Amino acid sequence: EIVMTQSPATLSVSPGERATLSCRASQSISSNLVWYQQKPGQAPRVLMYGASTRATGIPARFSGSGSGTEFTLTISSLQSEDFAVYYCQQYNDWPVFGQGTKLEIK
């Protein structure tokens, strides 16, 4: 079974600054990775699929990169609405989520 590990568990960043979130797979998953954002009291929503393709309506300040086992989600200039929990999910075989990174205001 593929294990997804996200780091850090919590990231404190000031508005306007850049945030970099990491996701690591226990074995190669090519580019079969999705990033989600979840705000309190809401269901998750898709940010990126195929590791680096923004979903419809997602602002350009969000970008994804990586392939194989190492992936990164970058938010170039944090807005107030970006503070949330972020999950990666692989779909190489069946869906497996990482444990999440909480992005909080510094």
Partner 1 sequence: QVQLQESGPGLVKPSQTLSLTCTVSGGSISSNYNYWSWIRQPAGKGLEWIGRISTSGSTNYNPSLKSRVTISVDASKNQFSLKLSSVTAADTAFYYCARETTYRFDYYGMDVWGQGTTVTVSS
Buried b (16+ CB within 10 A) or exposed e, 62-91: bebebeebebbbebeebeeebbbbbbbbbe
Cα separation, 92 vs 90, whole angstroms: 6
Q: Which is nearer to partner 1, 19 or 101 (CB)?
A: 101
Residue ranges that bind partner 1, judged by CB under 8 A: 1, 32, 34, 36, 38, 43-46, 49-50, 55, 87, 89, 91, 94-100
Q: Which is nearer to partner 1, 82 or 98 (CB)?
A: 98
Q: Which is nearer to partner 1, 20 or 99 (CB)?
A: 99
